[in-house]
Structure 1
Amino acid sequence: MALKPNLLFDFGGVIINIDYSLTLAAMRQYGSSIEFTQAAQAELFDLMETGRLSPQEFREGLRRHYQLTASDEELDAAWNAMLLEVPAERLALIAELRAQGHHTALLSNTNQIHIEEINRRLQEQYGFKHGIADCLDRVFYSQEVGWRKPGEEIFRHALEQMNWKAEETLFIEDSPQHIETARRLGLRTLFLTPPLTLQDALPAALRAFPREYSAPTPA
């Protein structure tokens, strides 16, 4: 019987569409540019994503570090501006793979403000009671576990909690620094480079498993 690899999904850029530039533009209207990109970010954001700052402490930190003049509601709206849609076809694909016998989990660098906003939208759009957790066997948020990618600790934690072997797990991610850590730990990886989507690349990666799969660059 063929192995059904475990599927470990990133969230932003894999399941939900993300545009960091929208948050950068939204924050600029209240003062200066913030230090936040897909590849790197200032310590303030690391602290928020590992649960060491409350949402209110994060807002105050934004005002203090970047001289932003905005209300709590305005800061939350600007911070959430990067969050776009969760396409129904991606959720359908995950549901289909679970029905086929794949075990699934989410491994996401995220924070309380984003979690609450995404879950609210998923409840409104799809009727989910527990947000994206309704679609997967388990979710691991950096905000809750106290570690974040690309550190090895959060990967080891997820594998241990799921009782998964690294070599039997496919990690789907759009950030190269996180792919590098996963490969170092022995996971198989799918580097989802835009404009490829989950539907474009995941079926082919599963057919190639356990070999590493390099998705072709779209024309």
Structure 2
Amino acid sequence: MNIRPLITHLFLDIGGVLLTNGWDHEARQRAADHFGLDLADLEARHHLTFDTYEAGKISLDTYLERVVFHQKRTFTLGEFQAFMVAQSQPDNAMIGLMSRLKTRYGLKIAVVSNEGRELNAYRINTFHLNEFVDTFISSCFVHRRKPDEDIFRLALDITQAKAENVLYIENTPLFVQVAESLGIQGLLHTDFHATRSRLVAYGLADTSDARE
């Protein structure tokens, strides 16, 4: 019988696991509708610029100057930023689950995420992620983005965890595959109930009566 290695660390994505995505296509669609923007132009400029923002090489103001405020608008930068951050919502069931598992099993938790600095800071502080996350390996801090293998190697170095003792919970299949190629165990997240059930196979049973 195969016995899984003991899990000592959880590596977690933020968008799609702990929170909604911060600034995905659906959010940009809502922004285009709300502010009367040309979605095709917004998308084209976004895809040329956003990776640079997530890598921590430009500020949110600069990103928006290139993507939205390259022409005169009837709304302000502050109004648009307020709309952006309002798109983030917590998955309280998943946050609660990770917090309980950390306490029960003495786990160390690290976030490995692609996020720009200002949005990342807003999400960490607003939803109190630093109350249960020990380390944030965010792309804006380390200037590496998933699927670059180096962000996972850096996470292992920073946490001093052995790859086989890490479980990475992520909702993007490619990123799970990259982590697994380095010996990290991967769990593809689809929803709270499925992930809670699958965690039992890793020796991480949640015995609370919490429900989504």
Is the structural similarity TM-score above 0.5?
yes
Matches within 5 A, 1:21-32: 21-28=26-33, 29-32=35-38
Q: 1:166 to 1:4 in 2, by over 3 A?
A: closer
Q: 1:31 to 1:68 in 2, by over 3 A?
A: farther
- Counterpart pick for 2:119 among 109, 114, 123: 114
TM-score by length of 1: 0.77
Q: Which runs of 5+ in 1 are unaligned?
A: 123-130, 211-219
Per the alignment, residue 198 of structure 2 pairs with 205
Matches within 5 A, 1:62-141: 62-63=67-68, 69=73, 70-87=75-92, 89-99=93-103, 100-122=105-127, 131-141=128-138
**Identical aligned residues as a percent:** 27
Over residues 20-42 of structure 1, what are the superposed CA-to-partner deviations in whole Å (9 max), with x where a residue is unaligned? 31332213434222338xxxx61
Q: Answer yes or no: is 1:151 the counterpart of 2:148.
A: yes
Over residues 93-136 of structure 1, what are the superposed CA-to-partner deviations in whole Å (9 max), with x where a residue is unaligned? 222211222221111111123123324433xxxxxxxx312211
Q: 1:48 to 1:30 in 2, by over 3 A?
A: farther
- Counterpart pick for 2:173 among 169, 173, 176: 176
Q: Answer yes or no: is 1:186 the counterpart of 2:190.
A: no
SS in 1 for 2:144: coil
Q: Residue type matched to 2:157 in 1?
A: E
Q: Which runs of 5+ in 2 are unaligned?
A: 204-212
Over residues 49-103 of structure 1, what are the superposed CA-to-partner deviations in whole Å (9 max), with x where a residue is unaligned? 01100122112111366x573421132134324312341x333222221122222
Q: Residue type matched to 1:140 in 2?
A: I
> How well do the aligned residues superpose, as a CA RMSD in angstroms?
2.4
Q: Is the 8 A contact 1:23 1:80 kept in 2?
A: no
- Distance (whole Å) between structure 2 residues aligned to residue 27 and residue 154 of structure 1: 32
Q: Residue type matched to 1:7 in 2?
A: L
- Distance (whole Å) between structure 1 residues aligned to residue 15 and residue 184 of structure 2: 20
Q: Residue type matched to 1:178 in 2?
A: F
- Distance (whole Å) between structure 2 residues aligned to residue 68 and residue 90 of structure 1: 41
Paired residues in the alignment total 191
SS in 2 for 1:35: helix
Q: 1:113 to 1:30 in 2, by over 3 A?
A: farther
Q: 1:101 to 1:150 in 2, by over 3 A?
A: same
Kindly state the Cα deviation for residue 139 of structure 1 after the two structures are TM-superposed.
Answer: 1.3
- Distance (whole Å) between structure 1 residues aligned to residue 117 and residue 62 of structure 2: 12
Q: 1:35 to 1:98 in 2, by over 3 A?
A: same
Q: Is the 8 A contact 1:111 1:142 kept in 2?
A: yes
- Distance (whole Å) between structure 2 residues aligned to residue 132 and residue 172 of structure 1: 16
Q: Residue type matched to 1:18 in 2?
A: N
Q: 1:101 to 1:119 in 2, by over 3 A?
A: closer
Q: Residue type matched to 1:4 in 2?
A: I
Q: Residue type matched to 2:48 in 1?
A: E
- Distance (whole Å) between structure 1 residues aligned to residue 125 and residue 167 of structure 2: 28
Q: Residue type matched to 1:164 in 2?
A: A
